[in-house]
Amino acid sequence: MEVAEDFIQRLRSVIGAGRQGLHEPTFNGNEKRYLEECIDSGYVSSVGEFVNSFEHKFADFVGASFCVALANGTTALQLALTVGGIKPGDEVLLPALSFVATASAVVHAGAVPHFVDVDADSWGIDPSALRRHLEAIAESRSGIFINKETGRRIRGLVPMHTLGHPSRVDQLVEIAEEFDLLLVEDAAESLGSYWGKTHTGLFGSMGVFSFNGNKTMTTGGGGALVTADPELASRAKHLSTTARIAHQWEFDHDEVGFNFRMPNVNAALGVAQLEQTQGFIAKHRTLFNLYQEAFSGTALGKLKSEREGTLSNYWLQAFELSPGEAHFRDEIMRACIGQDVQVRPLWKPLNGLAPYLSYPSAPTPVTEDLYARVICLPSSPAIVKGM
């Protein structure tokens, strides 16, 4: 049988007939009830009971001490870098394999993105390659690490947990300590993913989540910053709410603030979604098992599976074509999308995108190889029947 046709038949054995989105939200809980309560309360914007309660419930869910609810994941990343002390002109290391927001947040924080490669099995920053790169380019001048090639300070490290698969955070934490780097995890895709017994997003100074409509759970648009540090948490909340000093009537502000807070109406949706999130994650795992079965015995490649010692939320299922079969990628995607079955490649390597071409980068052969070989599959929890 023709390769693309065989691929679709295997997909169809899991998703059934008809159109299928890449990742669509499920609203089967208290969404309408809480939205109505929120509207009736009159508090729909940045102040209200739902946003406070969402922060507490989300912190509990991931096991964080503090949570600040924000407008989206991108602003959450930008804010984390800013409150973490990243200064204009500082370099921030990040994987070339990520959604563009990881890089744009660095630029919006005034810093310089510096791209590094991922490894072939975690799909997150490769700690050995990162160490080799830093040893080659970084020079300690009275304890401050400077990029010898650019003269700028290297100050931050932002690992990302690709499609929900945890990066090698244990080793990345060691490197961050050794080179005195602020560690902020981009955990936008990894709600419900653990390295050992610790939730992703809790390894660095701060972790950041996204509740966009295509993520594990949604607030429509939304994000969160989590931290164990009470000072970072209170500064993040203060800066995200225009840096206004609390007062009965006075508009007094002690810094240039942002308007980055999550509106109460979005948080109402979030509280309802959080009640179902454990169920969503269970379905993602079931879906992985179904696809695993459907694609067993194909010589074309394999399904991305979790590494030992980690628990993946399996947010997006991904099929990795074997190195010799990469040339089938576009033919398969064209055939699927032609039948309204939404599949996607991984993101184009960030260091190859026009707005980022002039920024520093380590060699990124693994990122480029994965980009050429991976196809993301329909991953909506609703594909798995029964709640």
Dihedral angle at the C-alpha atoms of 47, 53, 58, 63, nearest 10 degrees?
A: 120
Q: Which stretch binds ligand PLP (CB under 6 A): 47-55, 56-64, 186-194, 331-339?
A: 186-194
| Minimum distance of ligand PLP from residue 70's CB (angstroms) | 9
The structure tokens 């070339």 sit at 96
Token digits for 305? 């599976």
| Minimum distance of ligand PLP from residue 36's CB (angstroms) | 25
SS3 of 224, please?
Answer: strand
| Minimum distance of ligand PLP from residue 103's CB (angstroms) | 9
Residue 52 amino acid letter: N
| Minimum distance of ligand PLP from residue 341's CB (angstroms) | 21
| Listed residue (90, 86, 54, 361) closest to 206, CA to CA | 86
Cα–Cα distance measured from residue 362 to residue 354, given in angstroms and rounded to the nearest whole number = 17
Q: Nearest residue to ligand PLP, using CB?
A: 73
| Minimum distance of ligand PLP from residue 282's CB (angstroms) | 21
Is beta strand 301-303 parallel, antiparallel or unpaired with respect to 198-199? unpaired
Cα–Cα distance measured from residue 299 to residue 319, given in angstroms and rounded to the nearest whole number = 12
Query: In sequence order, which residues have a C-beta less than 8 Å from that of residue 30 and are 6 or more positions away?
Result: 271, 272, 275
The structure tokens 């050992």 sit at 196
Q: Which stretch binds ligand PLP (CB under 6 A): 37-45, 120-128, 167-175, 181-189?
A: 181-189
Q: Does 74 bind ligand PLP (CB under 6 A)?
A: yes
Q: Does 186 bind ligand PLP (CB under 6 A)?
A: yes
Cα–Cα distance measured from residue 358 to residue 352, given in angstroms and rounded to the nearest whole number = 9
Question: Which member of 29, 48, 73, 201 binds ligand PLP (CB under 6 A)?
Answer: 73
> Among residues 294 and 374, whose Cβ is nearest to ligand PLP?
374
Q: How many binding residues for ligand PLP (CB under 6 A)?
A: 14
| Minimum distance of ligand PLP from residue 125's CB (angstroms) | 13
| Minimum distance of ligand PLP from residue 14's CB (angstroms) | 23
Q: Which stretch binds ligand PLP (CB under 6 A): 120-128, 182-190, 192-200, 368-376?
A: 182-190
> Among residues 94 and 383, whose Cβ is nearest to ligand PLP?
94
| Minimum distance of ligand PLP from residue 337's CB (angstroms) | 21
- The string of DSSP codes covering 129-171 is HHHHHHHHHEEEETTEEEETTT-PBEEEE--B-GGGPPP-HHH
Q: Does 188 bind ligand PLP (CB under 6 A)?
A: yes
Classify residue 135 as left (phi > 0), alpha (psi -120 to 50) or beta.
alpha
Residue 206 amino acid letter: M
> Among residues 34 and 315, whose Cβ is nearest to ligand PLP?
315
Q: Which stretch binds ligand PLP (CB under 6 A): 66-74, 130-138, 261-269, 349-357?
A: 66-74
Cβ atoms 187, 208 nearer than 8 A: yes
Q: Does 160 bind ligand PLP (CB under 6 A)?
A: yes
Cβ atoms 15, 343 nearer than 8 A: no
Question: Which member of 210, 273, 310, 367 binds ligand PLP (CB under 6 A)?
Answer: 210
Q: Does 223 bind ligand PLP (CB under 6 A)?
A: yes
The structure tokens 């090639």 sit at 149
Question: Which member of 72, 193, 200, 276 binds ligand PLP (CB under 6 A)?
Answer: 72
Q: Which stretch binds ligand PLP (CB under 6 A): 72-80, 198-206, 294-302, 357-365?
A: 72-80
> Among residues 156 and 335, whose Cβ is nearest to ligand PLP?
156
SS3 of 344, please?
Answer: strand
- C-beta atoms surrounding 190 within 10 Å: 32
Query: In sequence order, which residues have a C-beta less than 8 Å from that of residue 254 and are 6 or more positions away?
Result: 243, 245
Cα–Cα distance measured from residue 97 to residue 279, given in angstroms and rounded to the nearest whole number = 29
- 93-112 positions binding ligand PLP, by CB under 6 A: 98-99, 101-102
Question: Which member of 31, 90, 189, 306 binds ligand PLP (CB under 6 A)?
Answer: 189
Please report, as ranges, the residues that interact with ligand PLP according to CB under 6 A: 72-74, 98-99, 101-102, 160, 186, 188-189, 210, 212, 223
